[in-house]
Every structure is written in structure tokens, then in C-alpha cells.
Chain A
């Protein structure tokens, strides 16, 4: 009796329908040289059948009921192998047929498909509605991939679950609601085109990271990585899980020589835990916990920075090994801006002096609000609006993408006799509006014209967050805004201070001349 050659292949977790399976089984049995063939699900009963048919010997151990077994006995090994191969081709081709179109087939639809196409990927960007984002992020983590989780509306419980798993697997979950990161030079979400360099950033705020990284670039420095954590990471419940992982990563990263940490003030225990990680670090560390006491930062040997600009300036100097050139926290406006403030203040001799901040960046708005309050004190009508907040973005694009809401708000500010200064941020970079100045410049021009017709002055102060390598161009955008009559400041912090200085000088002039300042009631909101 001739000894038959038996070969088998196993397709794990195969859910092909019976019609398909039987078609392939029938084709297998027609293959030349094939004596017996089996194409069955790997249930214990079916494995008994394969054993009875003399086909079990080639079936590996560990096959389960949801695995598809293809087993062939043939007169020669080549015939058996060819038949098993043919089954594989048929199974693959029916699957390829599933995709329903060539263009469709080229686009991966799942993390598995994407990994198949890009085997050495180590990070997944998740941007699905929040309800479903957790499942995708979990899937990525379980495959050993880091996650950039752009989605919002992820519950804090899910965030904790994701970050617990990530920590256990020594992976990073940036987010949820993470708008910005630059990983190994690759911008993710809303990020600017910045030079690569030796400064590593970790931030719980998207536009804070954008501002610091852009300023570092404009100061001649470069960024190794900028890692976002999501705004809730430093909340007591989440415990700064991602920030702590990111700090550890950057401390260990050879390309990173200086570390910058930025956040709104974290909970004290979380802040302590984060600062503890950098205590006595061999790498210089700059910390900007917006508005927080610098004492604990100094206590661990790190450099406190009061503003994003100061964080960028200190980090750039440290990266170059230069001595720190004194505070760059907005307390020093600079002579050019002082002169501009004096001129602008004279234009506000009539009408109000209240500052109306109309922001697209949440962290930039927070910084401006803080600096305005410090500079102008309470008892005024200054208002800083974060137009990217949920309150304004329901059913419409974010103002960093679509400037229309801001254009409307600028017009409203111009019509408000209380308002003397409009303060703007203009965020450039990937994913932002490709030409924000195209909409903002005419709006600024018209606003100033409306105020002038009403017999009032209106100063418009703006800062541009970005670089000349950004698609929109820093210089081009700045020039377009300046041409429209805006006063440009080199950072968000100094724009806020410039706005405050204009308002303060106008108030002072009026106090000296005895007229009342309409801005001088209420306080900064």
C-alpha cells in the first residue's frame, strides 16, 4: 500500500460561511493527485473525523473550534502541498473579492489591515467618535502599539482603563482629546512644522505645545518629541499617568537633552508626583504649570517658567548651553512694543478700554486671561473667550479650522462701545485653516473702520503661533495681519501684555484728564 503524503494548514479564527467552505472543499477534491481532503472547522468532533480519514497527522496541536483546518492526503508530497496552497489561494481570493473595489482595497480599514501594510508601525492615531474610540485604543494597546487618541467624549473611567493598561505595557496613550503631538518629527493632529532638535516637550495642552514648539523653532532651537497627554491627564482621578510615562520616556531618550513640561495647574498630588520624577534629573527640566507657584518646581531642581514664551526661551538657552537671559515671562514687553502701546493708547482717547480676547486656542486663552488679570487687576470689563470651547463648537468646525465665528465676534466687539482692545491668537500648522489671514485681515480692517465711524478707537493685538515652515507661513500671515492694522506681538504672552499695556495707558491718560474709563468696572472673565 502506498504511503500517502499528508499536509495541512490552519486558519485561525476563520468565520467563512458554509457555502464558501464547501465550494473550496469540492475544488480541493478535484486537485490532481489528491486522495482525500478535508476542509472543516477544528471542532473536536471534526478532528476525530480527520483522524479517521488519516488526515490528522499533519494538523498541529492547539487547533480550536473556530479555526479552519485544510488537510490533504495525496499520492505525493508535491500534490498535497499544491492542494493546500490552492486552498490558501482560494481562501485569500474570496477574501480579496470581499473588498469590493480596488481603491477600497488599498485603504486599510482596521488596525490589523494597517499593520499588515506597515509591519513596523508602533503608534496608532485614533479619531473616531468617542463612544467607540476606547475599543480601538484598547485594540491598539493590546497589540503593543502606542496610541494618539484624538477623540473626545471618552469617559474618565475608560481613560483610566486605557492608561492603566498602557502603563502596564510600557506604552503611551496620548489623549483622549489630545490635539497635538510631534513624534520623531512626525506631526500628529494640530501641530507645527518645527525643526528637529534636542528639546523634548510634554504637555497637557494642545496649543500650549504648539506655542512652545513654534517659539523654540523661531528662537533657533529644535524639538526631539512633543508628547500630548490630553487635558484630563493631570486630573486627580487619572493621576498624570501619561505625563509621568512621557516624562520617563523623554528622560531616557537619547535625542532629548532638555525637557519641558507644560500644563494648566495640576492637582497638587499629581504635580508632586510629576515633579518627583525630575528631581535631581541630569537633564535640565523646564516646568510651566500655568499660574502655579514656582516654589515646588525650584525645589526639585527644575526651572519654573511663567509663560509659554519663557518656557521656550529657557529651554532653547539650556539646549545651547547658554546662560539664562533673565525673565521672558511677559513682564518685559520690549521697547518696540512699549512704543506701539503708547501710540495705540492715544488712539483710545474716546470709547472704552476693555480688552476682548477672542481665542481659538484654549491654553492660549488661559494664558492670556491670567496675564491680563495680573496686569490690569480686578474691576474691569475685560473678557477672554475660548471660541474652541464646546459652548461654541457644537455643530460647527473649530475656529482654528473655520474662522467665521471669530469674524462674527470681531464685528461684535467693534460694535461694543466698551471694547478698546481686541486680542487674537492665530494658530498655524497642520490641520489648521490654510489661510486664516484671508478671513481675519478684512475683519480686522472693518472692525477698526466701524469703531472709527463711531468716533472711537479700536486696537487689535495679535500673535501668530507657528513657523515659516508651516503651510500658512508665519511671516506671510503676520504681514497680512499687520497690513490690516493689527499690532503683532512675538508671542501669545506678549500679545496679552501688549493689550494690557494699551488698556492701562489709555486708562491712565483718561484718569489724568479726568474722563472715566468705560473698561474700569467688573473684572477679567
Chain B
């Protein structure tokens, strides 16, 4: 019965074929090696989360920008293509086949280096950080927006507030606010530990942010990834250690999607939008910082703001 499915006898149709445009070098190596199998975990408007060989990979519309764990595909609309949760996914011969319906070819993809290299801060980092904070003032609310305020630092004396949120009038508080209150408090402890160059303390404070907050990538996780990205870009040798410790915990303490970002951070890999933001902040023309901040904040529901909060937390170390 060889070659029968090449015909239309069983109603099998040729699956739509898409070509990936960008792929991180490390993901390219993984997907191009031993054939992997898995399934579709979630289908979103511009991306599908799939588990391949036990690890989460995003197949995402190229407009979302390159991500270390993502295959970027131009004009990728998974819902229109019939991608559904639970479909089988497999790699073979330089392609990903989703649910027997969609083939994503990897051969033409541009190999992208997701590893964030240190960008020696241009002279006068402080004025640049102030420009970031100024730009953040103009951003809308949501998520960890309070951490971006340019007022007095929320932990002026190195003693952040306790997790007081639960004591607030229970009937009047939203659960989201409770979670964000806890996250702000934990971020305070994290910032204080960083200011004191207390890596162990920072590690512990960060642990309580893992899996904390609303969303498929909880706000606390977004913050931690933004933080280690900024520390990495500034050449902080502790960045990789923090990211590694948090990635290990993330496996059991947060969503699989968030854990994928942590996993990449532990190997020094970050999304293109973080590369661009940190380039702009650290080495680009200062007049472009405000625009870069606004673009970075506009990501997902609150992920952009939350990630930016982590970046700002790292940048604040340079301020007196």
C-alpha cells in the first residue's frame, strides 16, 4: 500500500506549508536534530504553544518578534490554519508538522542569536535611566505599573514593605490587586537585595515572584526575566546565576509557558524585543529611548509592563 496517502483516496489533503523566517540558533539545533514528538498545548491569535521533546516551543507570527523558544512564521494564523489544542506535533526532515494539517518548514529561516551579550553602558548611564523612568510615566496602567513610578523609590531605606495586601479590606480588593500587591512587595525585597549586592537575598526574593500574578505568564515571571536581561546587558556577572536558580524553581512553580522564558534566560537567551529595548537604553541614541520603552511596554496584556518593571528594577541600581 506504499505511497497511497499521496493520493486523495482517504480524503487526505496536502497540508498547508509555511516557511519559518527566523529561528534562534539553539532552537534550530534542537529542532533539526533527532525527530521530536509532542502536542499542541494552546492556540492563540498569533501563536501556538506546542510541547516538543518535552519542552515548550512557540510557533509564532513573525510580527511578535523573534523569541528564543519560538519559530517565527510570517502571517501565521494558527486558528485559521486549523491548529487545535491536543493535535500531535512532530519534527522531521527540517519541518514541523502540526496535527497532520500544517507543515512549517525550517530550512529557509534566518538563524538568530538569542544570546544577549553585554552592552557596555555608554558613558552617562544615569541620564539614560532617568529617560527610561520618564518615558515610563507616560505609560498606561496595569500589571506591575506601580514599580515604574518615578517618585521616591518604594523602598527608600532598603526595607521594603511587608506583604500587607491580605490585611486590606477584603471585600473591596480584587484578587489581581492582591497578587500584584504581593509582587510589588517581593520586588521591593529583590531591589533591596540587589542594591546591597546580596545575591542570595535576591535569589530568595525572586523565588516568591515565580508564578505570582495574573496571566499565562504571571507578572512575577515577566519581571524576573526583564530583570536578568537588563543585568546581563549591563554585564552583571550575577545575572546568569540568578536566572539559573529561578529557572530551576520555575519548572514546578509556574506555568509551562513562563518556565520556557526562564529556561532561555538561564542560558542567556532573551526575546528580540528585550534585545532592542536594552540596546536602545544602554547604547543607542538617547532620543530613541522613550520610543523603545513605549514599544516594549506594548506586549500582551501586562507582560510588556511587567517585563519593563524588571528592567527598571535592574537599572535603578545605577542610581544613587
Q: How many residues of B contact A (CB 8 A)?
A: 70
Q: Which residues of B contact A136 (CB under 8 A)?
A: 88, 100
Chain B residue at minimal CB-CB distance from A14: B42
**Do A135 and B10 touch across chains, with their CB atoms under 8 A apart?**
no
- Tell me whether A18 and B182 are in contact in the complex, defined as CB-CB below 8 angstroms, given that A36-B170, A151-B5 are known contacts: no
A222→B214 CA distance, assembly (Å): 63
Q: Name the A residues within 8 Å of B220 (CB-CB).
A: 45
Q: Is A99 an interface residue (CB 8 A)?
A: yes
A128–B252 CB distance below 8 A: no
B9-27 with Cβ < 8 A to chain A: 9-10, 12
* Contact A177–B175 (Cβ < 8 Å): no
Closest Cβ neighbor of B91 among chain A residues: A131
Bound-state CA distance A132–B96 (Å) is 10
Cβ-defined contact, A18 with B178, below 8 A? no
Q: Which of A48-56, A322-330, A334-342 contacts its partner?
A: A48-56
Contacts A36-B175, A49-B182 given; does A17 touch B3 at CB 8 Å: no
> Could you mark each residue 202-217 of chain B with 1 if its beta carbon is under 8 Å from any beta carbon of chain A, else 0?
0000001111111111
Chain B contact residues, majority secondary structure = loop
Complex contact B218–A41 (CB within 8 A): yes
| CB of A19 within 8 Å of the partner chain | yes
Cα distance, A65 to B249, chains bound together (Å)? 12
Q: Which of A18, A53, A104, A129 contacts B175 (CB 8 A)?
A: A53
Cβ contact of A100, chosen from B5, B79, B178, cutoff 8 A: B79
| A398 with B4: CB separation less than 8 A | yes
Tell me if A66 is interfacial: C-beta within 8 Å of chain B.
yes
CB of B173 within 8 A of CB of A53, answer yes
B42 and A16: CB pair below 8 A?
yes
Provided the pairs A40-B214, A53-B178, A136-B88 are in contact, do residues A98 and B1 lie with their beta carbons within 8 angstroms?
no
Known A-B contacts A41-B216, A129-B5, A401-B7; the reply to A109 vs B84 at CB < 8 A is yes
Q: State A44–B182 Cα separation when bound (angstroms).
A: 13
Contacts of A112 in B (CB 8 A): 85-86
Asked if B84 and A150 sit within 8 Å, CB to CB, the answer is: no
Known: A36-B174, A46-B213, A178-B1. A401 touches B9 (CB 8 A): yes
CB of A431 within 8 A of CB of B2, answer no
Q: Which of A65, A112, A402 has the most C-beta atoms of chain B within 10 angstroms of its own C-beta? A: A65
Do A19 and B255 have beta carbons less than 8 Å apart? no
Name which residue of chain A comes closest to B249, CB basis: A44
A38 at the interface (CB under 8 A from B): yes
**Cα–Cα distance between A124 and B303 once the two chains are bound (Å):** 41
Q: Does B97 contact A (CB under 8 A)?
A: yes
Q: Determine the chain B residues whose CB is within 8 A of the CB of A134 once the complex forms.
A: 37, 90
User: Which stretch of A78-86, A310-318, A365-373, A387-395 is in the interface?
Assistant: A387-395
Using a CB-CB cutoff of 8 Å, which residues 188-212 of chain A contact chain B?
189-190, 206
Contact of A29 among B37, B174, B182, B213 (CB under 8 A): B174
Residues in chain A near residue B44, CB distance under 8 A: 15, 17
Which residue of chain A has its CB nearest to the CB of B211?
A43
- Known contacts being A132-B90, A206-B1, is A35 close to B214, with CB within 8 Å? no
Q: Is A505 an interface residue (CB 8 A)?
A: no
A152 at the interface (CB under 8 A from B): yes
B271 at interface (Cβ–Cβ under 8 A)? no
Q: Smallest distance from the beta carbon of A121 to chain B beta carbons, Å?
A: 15
Decide: A45 and B82 in contact? CB cutoff 8 A.
Answer: no
Once the chains are docked, how many angstroms separate the CA of A49 from the CA of B92? 43
Interface residues of B in 33-87 (CB under 8 A from A): 35, 37-39, 41-45, 49, 79-80, 82, 84-87
Besides A36-B170, A393-B2, 18 more A-B contacts (Cβ < 8 Å) are A35-B171, A37-B175, A41-B216, A41-B254, A43-B210, A45-B253, A49-B182, A99-B79, A100-B80, A110-B88, A112-B85, A127-B10, A132-B100, A138-B37, A139-B88, A390-B2, A393-B6, A398-B4
Please name the 10 residue pairs, one residue from A and one from B, whose CB atoms are nearest each other, closest first: A15-B42, A43-B211, A18-B215, A38-B175, A45-B212, A128-B100, A179-B1, A52-B166, A18-B301, A135-B88
Q: A residues bordering B, Cβ < 8 Å?
A: 13-19, 21-22, 25, 29, 35-41, 43-46, 48-50, 52-55, 65-66, 71, 98-100, 104, 109-113, 127-129, 131-132, 134-136, 138-139, 150-152, 177-179, 189-190, 206, 362, 388-390, 393-395, 397-398, 401-402, 431
- 17 A-B pairs, CB-CB below 8 angstroms? A17-B45, A17-B300, A17-B301, A37-B174, A38-B176, A46-B179, A49-B175, A49-B179, A53-B173, A65-B256, A112-B86, A128-B97, A132-B100, A135-B89, A152-B5, A393-B6, A398-B4
